[in-house]
Amino acid sequence: MFDQARGLALLVGFFLFGGFLHRVGVPIPGGVLGLLLLYVALTTGLVPLAWLQRAADLLLRHMVLLFVPLTVGLMDLGRVLSRQAFALSASLIVSFLAVLLTTGLLGRWLVAVLPADAEAAE
Amino acid sequence: MSVLAALRHPVFSIAFTVVCYAVALALHRRWRWVPPIVAASVPIVTLLLAARIPYADYNRGGNLLTWWLGPATVALAVPMYRNGRRLKRSLPRLLLVVFAGAVVGMTTAGGTAWLLGAPIAVAMSAVPKSVTTPIAVEVARELGGIPQITVALVILAGVLGATFGPAILAIFRVREDRSVGVAIGSASHGIGTASLVRRSELQSAVSSWAMAASGVVTSLLAAALALLLRHAKL
């Protein structure tokens, strides 16, 4: 319990700090700033992974709950959605395939072309 | 306080949303094909329509849940760090791949919608559709898109990747673990990543790193784009 509370407090703290930096002029969204700062803090050992692991897993595992309210908001957008249904579906499928194949093929090429490394297992 | 007034209270919207989510999870555990997000949202929409509660009223409570997407974004640093540590030597290459994927994803999603006549706000909503929900929502807001549309597209991109991703890659002879992982993480974020867990440990580690990395790269690119747009308007 204490473990999770400490982890959540840290995540909220980094988020608020990121939001603060965003408001004073850094053009990156607050959440992403918080992510980058936390990544640096983890890499430098400033914040030990053990403090955060359980809280982060909790939030990420139940992330679907957090975007239920936005999904419910689609109820007000029926008109836009039906009028733009074709453009949105086409955009979704074209872009999905484009990203999947760009990254998959480029990834395969880079893995084959450059010398292999054996970090596969911990 | 009348029943209807109670239904509009933020505490009720949060409680009802949590209950619907718990039930949706249970349904999903019983029948795997039931998507939790749909099973959780449908009863809420039904109640709001039946009781004639405007979305804005529900969302006074709903907003408090949405707010937690911020700390959830920060939490992505954990899988990124954890998996990045074991992929150390591939990271520069994987980052290059993720970067290419982000550029292609943003331009094709926004571009296709715009060319097919979607208004600019709708096209902007499509731009971050490949990345994980909390980051996609932030990016959509930044670009003047509609976050609700973004969420719907993000979920669908995830489901497409979880369902067809590995099979499509196999047709193009992409089967090597790191390539599959980076492709699914870039195109289908968390939903795609979750589907790889049963396939291969390395695939899901790369995918979970790639989903966080591509979220970061996409939001940096979007920030640059937003600055440019603001500049162009002045």
pLDDT for the residue numbered B228 = 87
Q: Do A103 and B216 touch (CB under 8 A)?
A: no
**Cα–Cα dist B200/A9, whole Å:** 33
CA distance B5 to chain A (A): 19
Nearest CA in chain A to B133: A67
Residue type, A68: V
Residue B204, number of CB atoms within 10 A of its CB: 24
Residue carrying structure tokens 């499928």: A93
Mutate to test the interface with B, among A28, A95, A102, A114 (most CBs of B within 10 A): A95
* Domain shared by A60 and A101, yes or no: no
Is residue A120 predicted with pLDDT exceeding 50?
no
On whether residue A122 sits in a domain, the answer given is: no
For residue A68, what are the contacts with CB-CB under 8 A and spacing of at least 6? B17, B20, B21, B37, B40, B41, B44, B62, B65
* Domain shared by A11 and A56, yes or no: yes
On whether residue A121 sits in a domain, the answer given is: no
Partners of B104 on chain A (C-beta within 8 Å) are: 95, 98-99, 102
Compute and round to an integer the Cα radius of gyration of chain B.
Answer: 19
On whether residue A28 sits in a domain, the answer given is: yes
Residue B117 falls in which region: left (phi positive, over 0), alpha (psi -120 to 50) or beta? left
Among A101-105, A116-120, B27-31, B76-80, which is the least confidently predicted range? A116-120
**CB of B90 closer than 8 Å to CB of A100:** no
pLDDT for the residue numbered A105 = 96
Is residue A119 predicted with pLDDT exceeding 70?
no
* Domain shared by A45 and A81, yes or no: no
**Cα–Cα dist B150/B142, whole Å:** 12
Is residue A107 predicted with pLDDT exceeding 90?
yes
Angle, helix B147-171 to helix A85-113, in steps of 10 degrees: 50
* Domain shared by A63 and A99, yes or no: no
**CB of B69 closer than 8 Å to CB of A66:** yes
pLDDT digit string, tens, across residues B89-129: 889 999 999 999 999 999 999 999 999 999 999 999 999 99
The proportion of chain A whose per-residue pLDDT surpasses 70, expressed as a percent, equals: 93
* Domain shared by A55 and A79, yes or no: no
Count: domains in chain A: 2
On whether residue A82 sits in a domain, the answer given is: yes
Q: Measuring CA to CA, which residue among B176, B212, B222 is closest to residue B78?
A: B212
**ipTM value for the complex:** 0.89
* Domain shared by A26 and A53, yes or no: yes
Dmax over CA atoms of chain A, in Å, equals 53
* Domain shared by A19 and A56, yes or no: yes
pLDDT digit string, tens, across residues A41-77: 999 999 999 999 999 999 988 988 998 998 998 899 8
Going by pLDDT thresholds of 50, 70 and 90, the confidence category of residue A121 is very low
* Domain shared by A63 and A80, yes or no: no
* Domain shared by A57 and A105, yes or no: no
User: Which residue numbers in chain B have pLDDT < 50?
Assistant: none
pLDDT for the residue numbered B200 = 85
Average pLDDT over residues A18-30: 91
Q: Which of residues 138-167 of B touch A (CB under 8 A)?
A: 138-139, 141-142, 146-149, 151-153, 155-157, 160-161, 165
Q: Do A72 and B168 touch (CB under 8 A)?
A: no
Q: Measuring CA to CA, which residue among B82, B152, B75, B78 is closest to residue B113?
A: B152
**Cα–Cα dist B55/B58, whole Å:** 5
Quote the domain boundaries for residue A86: 74-114
On whether residue A120 sits in a domain, the answer given is: no
Average pLDDT of chain A is: 89
**Cα–Cα dist A117/B8, whole Å:** 57
pLDDT for the residue numbered A115 = 60
Average pLDDT over residues A89-116: 90
